[in-house]
Amino acid sequence: MKNKKIYNLIFALGIVFISFHNPSVKAYATKSGSVNMESLLNVRESESIDSKVIYKLVGNDNVTIVDETEECYKIRVGYDLYGYVDKEHITLKKEASQPRMEDKTMEDTIKENDKYYVDNRKTWVITFNKRLKFDEDDLKGVTVEDKEGKEVPVYVKGDENKISVFPEEDSYQYGESYTLNIGDNIKSFYGDKLKEEKKVEFKIKSENECFGLGENETKYVTNDRPYDWYTSQYDTGKYSNNNSNVACATMALKWLKPDYNKSVEYARSTYINDGKPWDMDMLQAYLEKFGVKSRRVWMSSYEIWNDKPIIDELDKGNILIFGVWVDDIEYNPNTEERVGDFHLRKGKTFSTNAIIVKGYKIVDGKTYFEIYDPACEDYQRYLDGTPKGENRYYSSEQLSKSLHYKYFIVPENK
């Protein structure tokens, strides 16, 4: 997803920012910022430098600030996950200036804005020209409804002259239309009231647009399974950082055999390899141990990239195992898009990483391969809770630049 825009809707009065679900929450107007350092930035559980690291950010990553102390910002880094970072490492973004329009109605303001075609994690910020005083019930009039008029779950918070409305995990569905309602019971600190209820209609972008892929999808092939077979390599015992091939072998067996129940750690204990990463020979030997034959498909020896062998195998219903140079995949600083690399690699060197390619999409004439990347720690999740290594997309061009081996492994799908 491209950087989310926050649309300001100007009314004839303002409001105090509180939590609809928890009125005791300290009032604070959310801010946007970005990381201004080259090395990894730790996000900690509390303000203390000794507290647990729950997330890591890299330079230019975008952050949403929900509170602050004298030295730290409290930021949102996942679905219902918050942590603290030093203020000196965050550069605040300036909000787009917008003139006060005290004599204009809601409808007048909407006409001056762009079309409300937004991401599925869209946050609405409603700005009034006066500070408001209201009871908890007042915010119950700020709702979002689907096209059938059914209310969808959202969080409503306010501060001074702003109300922020952001969705819960599955509130907005791709491609669907919704209406933001602002009830006429909202009143200013001095008792002024909105003259009438206000409404804003908006539509959620398609899945591909939210993922950062584009608009016009002409083909989609995925060899997924109706059960969960994604596996991370982390926290799976000794040498967890050196076992992406082990994790890919485990995923391949889970994909081929729904009743396969061996762990990544079990696989690694079969071929310990002195703590070193498995090579492709070990991966294939482990598959063979469970009766799964595999073969190598060699890419063209010519310099011109040709992804036809990959597409041909995916069209046959197979999954493929690749070895790639992680540093050669372009890093995407937009934390909610799913195209490009998400690894927090600045300040350290990555070698090869094994991934599974399980499908592809052609969007706006460009081919993207759908992958499972086991090098994903538990905290590396999108706001909806999905691991960032699950269903990531690499463009054909990016994959071509990152190949470690000029072949890929095809577990036989019988």
- Whether residues 302 and 396 share a domain: the answer is yes
Q: How far is it, in rounded angstroms, from Cα 266 to Cα 269?
A: 5
Tell me if 263 is assigned to some domain: yes
- Whether residues 134 and 281 share a domain: the answer is no
Tell me if 401 is assigned to some domain: yes
- Whether residues 195 and 245 share a domain: the answer is no
The confidence score (pLDDT) of residue 113 equals: 40
- Whether residues 124 and 162 share a domain: the answer is yes
- Whether residues 330 and 268 share a domain: the answer is yes
Strand partners, 155: 166
Task: Report the predicted TM-score, pTM, of the whole model to 2 decimal places.
Answer: 0.71
Q: How many domains does the chain have?
A: 2
Residue 205 identity (one-letter amino acid): K
Number of H-type helices and E-type strands within the chain: 7, 23
- Whether residues 317 and 178 share a domain: the answer is no
- Whether residues 123 and 232 share a domain: the answer is no
Q: 206 Cβ partners below 8 Å, 6+ apart?
A: 174, 175, 215, 217
- Whether residues 161 and 12 share a domain: the answer is yes
Residue 158 identity (one-letter amino acid): G
- Whether residues 199 and 81 share a domain: the answer is yes
Query: Which of 175, 205, 235 corresponds to the end of one domain?
Result: 205
Domain that holds residue 189: 1-205
Tell me if 211 is assigned to some domain: no
b/e burial code for range 182-192 (CB count within 10 A of at least 16 → b): bbebbbbbeeb
The confidence score (pLDDT) of residue 351 equals: 66
Query: Which of 205, 240, 258 corresponds to the end of one domain?
Result: 205
Query: Which of 205, 231, 250 corresponds to the end of one domain?
Result: 205
- Whether residues 140 and 230 share a domain: the answer is no
Each residue of 363-375: pLDDT tens digit?
A: 999 999 999 999 9
The confidence score (pLDDT) of residue 135 equals: 63
Cα dist from 137 to 198, 202, 398, whole Å: 17, 25, 52
Tell me if 196 is assigned to some domain: yes
The confidence score (pLDDT) of residue 371 equals: 97
CB 7 within 8 A of CB 98: no
Tell me if 210 is assigned to some domain: no
Residues lower than pLDDT 50 in the chain = 1-27, 96-114, 347
Residue 388 identity (one-letter amino acid): K
- Whether residues 153 and 279 share a domain: the answer is no
Token pair recorded at residue 275: 């703590």
Each residue of 320-346: pLDDT tens digit?
A: 999 998 888 888 888 889 999 988 655
Tell me if 212 is assigned to some domain: no
Residue 117 phi/psi, 5-degree rounding, is: -120, 100
Give the CATH number, domain containing residue 334: 3.90.70.10
- Whether residues 241 and 349 share a domain: the answer is yes
Q: How far is it, in rounded angstroms, from Cα 74 to Cα 64?
A: 9
The residue assigned the tokens 């995949």 is 329
The confidence score (pLDDT) of residue 54 equals: 85
